[in-house]
Amino acid sequence: MVIDTKKASLILLATIFLLAIALRSYQLDRILGGHDENAMLLYVGYAPLKAIVTNYWDVNNHIFHTILVRLMGTWFGEENSIAIRLPTLLFGLASLWMVYRVALDLFNSNLIAQMALLIAAINPTHIHYSQTARGYSLVIFFSTVMILLSLKVLRSETSKTRGIVITLCGFLSVYTVPTNLYFLFGLAT
């Protein structure tokens, strides 16, 4: 029996992503306000958009994420826990794809990239950040995008588009969690 390795690899990737979706969707509809979510929702989550984008008086305001939460609350209702958590879920899932891509780029091994994806997919901290209305999954996504594109730039695969995307991800990362500026300094050195 001949096994098509490309097809088997795609099936494995799809299976890992389905597992990741299942793990992150479990109790996504729980009552809003657990852990750090509570402070964000109470202090800034339902504030006027102008107050969200112009004030960083509280570390619970992950500004770009809070803008997304405010928009989701406006569109789908402030008590819709799935809608409020949807941005973190989507960015968490997208960051898994980026982890896979970074590992594939670094090691040029599909097996290692799949192992990295599986480890990230079942990681309890990543699952938590992907289903809690906080900005951490956004930061993970933006950081992995910047790492992948920086690796390509270091290999002389430069392009104007890559520079723009790195800059945009860097801005949104810092606009989400300002202390991510330290990550940008580290990436630049």
At residue 2, the pLDDT reads 60
> Does residue 29 belong to any structural domain of this protein?
yes
At residue 58, the pLDDT reads 67
Identify the domain containing residue 76 by its residue range. Answer: 7-188
> Does residue 78 belong to any structural domain of this protein?
yes
Residues 6 or more apart whose CB falls under 8 angstroms from that of 180 comprise 139, 142, 143, 173, 174
> Looking at the 3D structure of the chain, how many domains does it have?
1
> Does residue 1 belong to any structural domain of this protein?
no
> Does residue 112 belong to any structural domain of this protein?
yes
SS (H, E, C) the chain: CCCCHHHHHHHHHHHHHHHHHHHHHCCCCCCCCCCHHHHHHHHHHCCCHHHHHHCCCCCCCCHHHHHHHHHHHHHHCCCCHHHHHHHHHHHHHHHHHHHHHHHHHHHCCHHHHHHHHHHHHHCHHHHHHHCCCCCHHHHHHHHHHHHHHHHHHHCCCCCHHHHHHHHHHHHHHHHHCHHHHHHHHHHHC
At residue 22, the pLDDT reads 96
> Does residue 2 belong to any structural domain of this protein?
no
> Does residue 117 belong to any structural domain of this protein?
yes
> Does residue 115 belong to any structural domain of this protein?
yes
- Kindly list the averaged pLDDT for each block of 10 residues, start to end, along the chain of length 189: 81 96 92 77 80 76 90 89 94 98 97 97 96 93 96 85 93 92 90
At residue 41, the pLDDT reads 79
